[in-house]
Amino acid sequence: MIRNNIIIIGSGLGGLLSGYLLSKESLRVTVLEKRRKFGGCLQTFKRDKYIFDTGMHYIGSLEPGQPLYNYWKYFGLTGKLNLLQMDPDGFDRISFGYKETSGIIQEFPLAQGFDNFRDRLLPYFPGAESALTSYTKKLDEIAHSHPLYNLELPSTNSTEHYSSIKAFDFLNDLASGIRDIPLPRPPEFPGQALPSKGGEYPASRIQDPGSGISLSNVLAGNNFLYAGNPATTPLSQFGLINHSFISSAWRLAGGSQQIANILVEGIRVQGGEVVAKKKVISIGQTGERFTIETADGDRFEAAQIVSDIHPAVTLHLLDGIPVQKAYRERITSLENTISVFTVYLGLKPDTFPFLNHNVYHHISSSVWTDAGSRIPDNRRPMQFLFMTPPEKDQGPFANTAVVMTPMLFEEVREWEKSDAGAREKSYFVFKARKAKQLLDQVYRKFPDLKESVATIDISTPLTWRDYTGTPEGSMYGIVKDATHPQKTIILPTTKIPGLFFTGQSVNLHGALGVTIGAVMTCGEMLGMTHVMENIKRAL
């Protein structure tokens, strides 16, 4: 039996940040990771000679004085990462249309800096100056309403006003009266509106193929970042994520594994342990101490546990520990965000230009990631995100490209009981067909790409599920719902004394959201005032 003060289950960003902070406090910490590599979605993987990121593709608010910079300075990351700032005049490009002999491609830049953001969009929407000014002010308002975003202690009487407002409704109100830009209807689309997921939101309000491009379409055009749903996504989630990237947007040149490596080294230097290939299979309790058993037969004992894996999966691991029925049912019943289908492209040398921006391309003006996703198998994808990740010494040409499109787990349901590396032939036929459908759309947007491709690798919601351990391969964990904000908030404290949650389902996903979530978790364990004073002292 190995005795510890604290066991952390999972070495994703939340687990490693928690491990770093707690070990810095001289607590005996052990991080257990089920895979052979640390980092969760920070991991990179190699196919042939090409290296790809798993999940963290770009990050925001990392200029000196901005929130993530300030937090990461305490965690020993600032100044050690190989960063590349994205195009200031359009870190994201929101693209609409199709490219046939008679088609069009219309593209809109989302720029860094709030004045620059407004000024770069005004030529496309000349009557929108007041609306865009109001938009950037609202984002600033939302950011300042969340104390931890600004390294301030949360107020006990603060209200989450923006958590109960739908981002979709806010954007529609903001853009009302501003003229849309016409978008021709692609010939293969009939005139019907697309269904929303589960049918819970009127599709007629989302806009169907061929309708105009509104300002609200453009401002929501990168909602793949948070699996946006018009019926649920809170304005708080929308506002914090967009505020972060407009403040400044960065890529990790050479991949996000560097974050995990720095944090693992820091934990070990501070006396903690980080152990790979230790899949936790049960959590028991003897007296006031927890017992953790791993798949290889090892047993660990700890006074406290921090779980960086999905909350519902964590509760499933509990062995003989009583849990309030209402609490268990609430956690396990919460909906998870949609999953993703990804194509990884290795490119021939010096053939395709490096793009220092992302492209969110929409075949129609229906931009929401988690609406209209139930598309018959013979239909092409409705949207995709295209990226050319940077190398450590990035030149004018791209070495790799990544294409992502939302996908429901239902599409791979028939293979859900299969194991990675032992799936049926029909699964690989499915993957190849879907990849062709997706790449056909990408090649219409980027006609020179096709001849540049050297290798193709594919992942599905099954891959994501097996790799990250999230139910049905969810991209961002539990859905935040503006119609039920309190129900869908996951707190770091649980109904089991000594067991804490961290990770993307706590607070908010993304680099900044998970960082703040880890600080919240450790604040519950050590005292929030103490933790925040130490973080501020590092500035």
DSSP state letters, 93-120: EEEEEE-STT-EEEEEEE-SSHHHHHHH
- In angstroms and rounded to an integer, the radius of gyration of the C-alpha atoms of the chain is 23
Q: Distance between CA atoms of 227 and 216, rounded to whole angstroms?
A: 16
pLDDT at 3: 59
Q: What per-residue string of b and e applies to 477-509 under the rule 16 or more CB within 10 Å gives b? A: bbbbbbeebeebebebebebebbbbbbbbbbbb
Q: Which amino acid is at 400?
A: T
Q: Find out whether 41 and 463 touch, Cβ atoms under 8 Å.
A: no
Task: Give the orientation angle of helix 257-269 with respect to helix 13-24, to 10 degrees.
Answer: 20
For the cut 50, the answer to whether the pLDDT of residue 204 exceeds it is no
pLDDT at 186: 53
Residue-range domain boundaries for the chain: 2-82+255-334+482-537, 92-252+338-472
Q: Cα(first)–Cα(last) distance of the chain, in Å?
A: 40
User: Which residues pair with residue 336 across a beta bridge?
Assistant: 478
Q: Distance between CA atoms of 464 and 234, rounded to whole angstroms?
A: 25
- Going by C-alpha positions, the residue among 492, 167, 182, 463 that lies closest to residue 308 is 492
Cα dihedral 463/467/470/474 (nearest 10): -40
pLDDT at 101: 44
Neighbours of 5 (CB within 10 A): 16
Q: Distance between CA atoms of 443 and 300, rounded to whole angstroms?
A: 52
SS3 for 252?
strand
pLDDT at 288: 86
Both tokens of residue 74? 């305490």
Select 2-82+255-334+482-537's CATH number: 1.10.540.10, 3.50.50.60, 3.40.30.10, 3.40.1360.10: 3.50.50.60
Q: Residue count of the chain, please give it.
A: 539
The least confident of 82-91, 95-104, 212-221, 250-259 is 95-104
Averaged over 182-194, what is the pLDDT? 49
pLDDT at 98: 66
Torsional class of 472: left (φ above 0), alpha (ψ -120 to 50), beta (otherwise):
left
Q: 448-488 pLDDT, tens per residue?
A: 999 999 999 999 999 999 888 889 999 999 999 999 998 89
pLDDT at 1: 53
As a whole number, the mean pLDDT across the chain is: 89
Q: Distance between CA atoms of 409 and 167, rounded to whole angstroms?
A: 25
The least confident of 192-201, 240-249, 252-261, 351-360 is 192-201
Neighbours of 83 (CB within 10 A): 17
CA angle 436, 58, 518 (to 5 degrees): 120
Indicate the pLDDT class of residue 225, thresholds 50, 70 and 90: very high
Q: 45-98 pLDDT, tens per residue?
A: 888 889 999 888 899 999 999 999 999 999 999 999 999 999 999 999 999 986
Q: Distance between CA atoms of 275 and 262, rounded to whole angstroms?
A: 15
Q: Which amino acid is at 386?
A: F
